[in-house]
Structure 1
Amino acid sequence: MRKTKKDDCRCRYLVDLTRQKDVFHLDEAFTQAVKEMLAAESVSIHDPNNLTSENLSSADVVLDIARGSGMVAKLLISNNAELADTQSLQELLEVYSNQYHHIYRSTQDMLTRLLNRTAFDERMQRLFGPRKHHRKKDERRAMAILDVDHFKKINDTYGHLYGDEILILLANMMQEAFRAEDWLFRYGGEEFIIVLNDADLITAEMVVDRFRIAVESRNFPQIGRVTISAGLTQIFPSKGLTSTIAEADQALYYSKDTGRNQVSVFRKLIEAGIIDDSNSFGGELELF
């Protein structure tokens, strides 16, 4: 049987999906493929909790799509109420789900189930990469680096199994405390990074400090009280990733050096003259 132009397009879409190596580009390729296939005005992926009937029109179509291990998202097809080629669409959905699952497993920290360092590098490349100039000027993001206070002492005193349990419980608390659109990473050891999307610095500080208080107030098995320190900065893609991490790190170091169990904001430290614009912070610092 001779291949049609439609068949060629379908094959191209399917192959393109399998080539994607991170979730952002996979979502981008998938929504573009569905948009072209159905000639829809717009196609987008949403968290089920963030998509309500109030956001929809009578011409919108919403489909469930599997993402990773049992996760479900909503595919919103705007102004395209009639799905003519359901078989091709189903093929796209299946390939998308399989590829998402593969990417999800490769970018997930096996202990905490948060995003891992690979996922961090991929998302930061996208955020700070060449396309950063095409993003909306009013996009607001903040980055927080969190570190468990005296974690080495916890491991030495109670053993690494209890240390791992602390990290798992903290990760669970993070997933409950922060929104689905925020990015939660285990950056390494007992250090976590949170990227708060669509959040100004004032809001980000309030949310991160609320999480710090929740951790301090919790009674952890065997260990009891555990605290965290955090450093926070605003994300400006034009500054670059290295400078952004350095700012959050300097704020974290200040939190550690001045008593721990607190959230420090880089901009406030600059304004107070505690650190300067060169990101230099003097003094010896014992992180553990």
Structure 2
Amino acid sequence: MPMSREPEAILDSVVQLTEQRQLDSLAESLVSTVSQMLSIDEVCILDVDKLTKRKGGLDGQRNVSSASLAVSVKLCIEQQREICFSNGLHQELAVPIIINDKLTKVLLVSAPLLTEQDRVLLRGFAKVYENYFHIVVESETDSLTNLLNRKAFLPQLYSSVEIACDLLQEQAQASQDADEELKLWICIFDIDYFKKINDTFGHLYGDEVLLQVSALMKQVFNPQDLMFRFGGDEFVILPAPRSRRALIELCQEFTQNLAQLQQERLGGIRISMGIVGIDPRVDPGTLLNQADNALYFVKGNGRNQVAFYGQLLAEGKLQRPEIEDDIELF
């Protein structure tokens, strides 16, 4: 049974919604609130980018069929406005959620009947979600580079492990060249001799270098590749599914373009990078530790290189510990 729509109940729902500090739990709270407030059959928040480009796409989902996506959501995305559609048995309402002037998510509700009061309430909850989404995103964004920050990393890493598990199951029956197999990866890098750059030219110049590096990351990698600044000159990328060959080409493009920056003072910006493929059977902390080990191998062997943990193991350049200690993520 839906809860009361008295002002106190509505305010309690808003309070619960704004208590959340993670985007996933924020979505789940909105879905739960709508489910409790209205007599509905189905509700979810759809991530528009994930729906078409990355695996997944339903945040806090509750039994939304693929058929429901075909009409109301499609029209909502195309027309950038609220769409109410009836198939004779049910009504579907798709409410656009705008983040940074872009239709980023859609609140999708299906019910036998949606009154105008229901629609007003749903618009209000969508607006609360939209506004609070901005606050949560700001808390997970690095203030200098506008990349994601360390706080945002852990939930995204676990999400990547889940996607990697799906990919592993899909490709288990296919016979593919290892270099062409789609995988998820962890790429961790830092700027070579960055402390010396700061000491020689000052921290303002160091910040300029960080801004140029982050700007080039956004230019070379695409919006589905999750990019983080961990702090200082340390960066992490969780690329969307790619083959090893495609990832090598992308990293080469990135490092070659970096080498063209700051030629006059630095003779180019250079980085050391370690990469590991995400194996869903391995603990996420261990995976990050493996990427870090590959990075430190590069730093101890000439810098200005990209190295894969698995390849270093295969070539005997790194030894796999009998028990790999989990890195302390936070």
Same fold (TM over 0.5): yes
Q: Distance in 1 between matches of 2:108 and 2:160?
A: 26
SS, match of residue 197 in structure 1: coil
Indicate conservation of the 8 Å contact 1:146/1:230, yes or no: yes
> What secondary structure is seen at the aligned counterpart in 2 of 1:136?
helix
Q: Say if 1:31 and 1:168 are closer, same or farther in 2 by CA, change over 3 A.
A: farther
Do structure 1's residue 73 and structure 2's residue 104 form an aligned pair? yes
Q: Quick check: 1:173 aligned with 2:246?
A: no
Could you say if the C-alpha distance between residues 78 and 91 of structure 1 is closer, same or farther in structure 2, counting changes exceeding 3 Å? closer
Larger gyration radius, structure 1 or structure 2: 2
2:218 pairs with 1:218: no
Match of 2:134 in 1: 101
1:245 aligns with 2:288: yes
User: Could you tell me which amino acid in structure 2 is paired with residue 210 of structure 1?
Assistant: E
Match of 1:147 in 2: 190
Moved more, 35-44 or 137-146: 35-44
Matching residue within 166, 169, 182 for 1:136:
166
Q: Is the 8 A contact 2:275 2:294 kept in 1?
A: yes
Q: 1:57 aligns with which of 61, 70, 86?
A: 70
Q: Take 2:24 and 2:292, find their aligned partners in 1: how far apart are those partners?
A: 26
Work out whether residues 147 and 229 of structure 1, in 8 Å CA contact, stay in contact via their aligned partners in 2.
yes
Show the counterpart of 2:27. 27
| Equivalence for 2:3 | 5
| Separation in 2, partners of 1:122, 1:184 | 13
Query: Within 1, Cα distance between the matches of 2:106 and 2:3?
Result: 26
Q: State whether residues 41 and 110 of structure 2, in contact with CA within 8 Å, keep that contact through their aligned partners in structure 1.
A: no
Q: Is the alpha carbon distance of 1:59 and 1:277 closer, same or farther for their aligned partners in structure 2, counting shifts above 3 Å? A: same
Provide the rounded CA distance (Å) in 1 between the counterparts of 2:164 and 2:10.
29
Q: 2:234 aligns with which of 182, 188, 191?
A: 191
Distance in 2 between residues matched to 1:178 and 1:200, nearest whole Å: 14
- 1:53-101 deviation line (CA, Å, top 9, x unaligned): xxx633435243133x555414163888x96432111111111112211
What residue in structure 2 maps to residue 285 of structure 1?
A: none
* Runs of at least 5 residues in structure 2 that lack an aligned partner in the other structure: 54-68, 77-94, 170-182, 324-330
Structure 2 residue 144 is the aligned partner of structure 1 residue 111 = yes
1:272 corresponds in structure 2 to 315
Post-superposition shift, 1:237?
A: 3.8
Cα shift at 1:163: 0.5
TM-score (norm 1): 0.77
Q: Residues of 2 paired with 1:242 and 1:49: CA distance?
A: 28
Q: Distance in 1 between matches of 2:4 and 2:132?
A: 23
Whether contact under 8 Å (1:141, 1:199) holds in the other structure is: yes
Q: How does 1:81-96 map to 2 (within 5 A)?
A: 84=115, 85-96=118-129
Any conservation in 2 of the 1:155–1:163 contact (CA below 8 Å)? yes
State the match for 1:233 in structure 2.
276
**Percent of aligned positions that are identical:** 29
Q: State the partner residue of 1:14.
A: 14
C-alpha distance 176-48 of structure 1, shift in aligned 2 (>3 A): farther
Structure 2 CA distance for partners of 1:231 and 1:112, relative to 1, 3 Å: same
Query: In the alignment, which of 45, 53, 59 is matched to residue 47 of structure 2?
Result: 45
**Structure 1 unmatched runs, 5+:** 281-288
Change (3 A) 1:107 1:125: same
Q: Which AA in structure 2 matches 1:77?
A: L
The Cα of 1:119 is off from its aligned counterpart by 1.5
Q: Specify whether residues 133 and 100 from structure 1 end up closer, same or farther in structure 2 by C-alpha distance, changes over 3 A only.
A: closer
Q: 1: CA distance between counterparts of 2:142 and 2:207?
A: 12
Determine the C-alpha separation between the residues in 1 that align with 2:301 and 2:24.
39
